[in-house]
Amino acid sequence: MTTLDINGREHTLDVATGTPLLWALRDTLGLTGTKFGCGAALCGACTVHLDGQAVRSCITPISAAAGKKITTIEAATDGGDRIGTAVRDAWVKHDVAQCGYCQSGQIMSATAFLKSLPKGKQPTPDEIDAAMAGNLCRCGTYARIRAAIADAARTIA
């Protein structure tokens, strides 16, 4: 049994402790907003926050997530988080998504990045690219991802 703090609620799971957080979220708890893309931390589709840090849930065993605050796309964009909400709204405003499959991970990376900036600091284009370099998008939505992050940064300033 492993107890996890997910989106502010405790869940006790009867799965092997080596199970990646991704599959505990998706298959055990039904939180399917977090996506499976590569299983090897190469594409970023499975990005969630552990104590506010962006991590790849596909290679993070639940044993490593226990005792930490886990935040998934569902909670980051439900309106309760100021920066997550700003990112979500910027994504909608800039019509970022195409197929949309990678966008949960993109939004989680972008949100963690904006949270990591000193208050009032506006990211440079190079900083945005560096923060998002681990998230693949086969549809090629990168131009709008850049615009949406810059816009969200201005909104929360």
Partner 1 sequence: MLPNTFPDPLPPALRDLLERDDPAPQAAMSRRSFLKLTGLGGLALGAFPLMAAAQGVTGQTEALKPTQQPSAFLHIDADGVVTVAINRLEFGQGVQTALPMILAEELDADWAKVRTRFGDSSPAYADPAYGIHITGGSNSVKNSFLQYRELGARARAMLLSAAAARWKVDVAALRTESGKVLGPGGRSLGYGELAEAAMAQPVPARVALKDRKNFRLIGQATPRLDGAAKSSGRQDFGIDVRLPGQLTAVIAHPPVFGARLRTVDDKAARRVKGVKAVLRVPLERGGEGVAVLADGYWPAKQGREALALEWDTAAVERVDSARQLAQYRELAAQPGPRHFDADMTPLDSAPHRIEAEFVFPYLAHAPMEPLNCTVRIGADGAELWVGTQFPGVDGQAAARVFGLKPEQVKVHVQMAGGGFGRRAVGSSDYVVEACEIAKAARAAGFDAPVRMVWSREDDIRGGYYRPMHLHRARIGFDGRGRVLAWDHVLVGQSIAAGTPFEGGMVKNGVDRSAVEGMREPYPLPMRLTVHHPKLNVPVLWWRSVGSTHTAFVMETLLDEIARATQQDPVAYRLALFGDQHPRHRAALQLAVDKSGYGKRHLPAGRAWGVAVHESFSSVVAYVVEASLHQGRPMLHRVTAGVHCNLAVNPRGVEAQVQGAAMMALSMCMPGAAITFKDGEVEQRNFDAYTVARITDAPEFDVHIVPSAEPPTGMGEPGLPPLAPAFANAIARLTGQPIRELPFRLA
Q: How far is the CB of 24 from partner 1 (least distance, A)?
A: 8
- Alpha helix (H) ranges present in 57-141? 62-65, 73-76, 82-93, 103-116, 125-132
Which single residue is written with the structure tokens 């850049």? 146
Residue 157 binds to partner 1 (criterion: CB under 8 A): no
Cα 130 to Cα 5, 28, 36, 51, 110: the distances in Å are 29, 33, 22, 21, 11
Binding of partner 1 by 133 (CB under 8 A): yes
CB distance 137 to 145 below 8 Å: yes
* Residue closer to partner 1, measured from CB, 120 or 140: 140
CA angle, residues 14, 17, 22, in degrees to nearest 5: 85
Site membership for partner 1, residue 8 (CB under 8 A) = no
Task: Considering only the stretches 5-13, 63-71, 113-121, 124-132, report the one whose residues sit in contact with partner 1 under the rule CB under 8 A.
Answer: 124-132
Q: Which stretch binds partner 1 (CB under 8 A): 49-57, 63-71, 113-121, 127-135?
A: 127-135
Of positions 3, 116, 130, 154, contacts partner 1 by CB under 8 A: 130
Binding mask 47-66 for partner 1 (x = CB under 8 A): --------------------
> Is residue 78 within 8 Å of 139, Cβ to Cβ?
no
- Cα 146 from Cα 89, distance rounded (Å): 14
Q: Is 99 in the site for partner 1 (CB under 8 A)?
A: yes
Q: Which residues bind partner 1 (CB under 8 A)?
A: 15-16, 19-20, 23, 26-28, 30, 32-40, 42-43, 45, 72-74, 77-78, 88, 91-92, 95-104, 107, 128-130, 132-133, 135-146
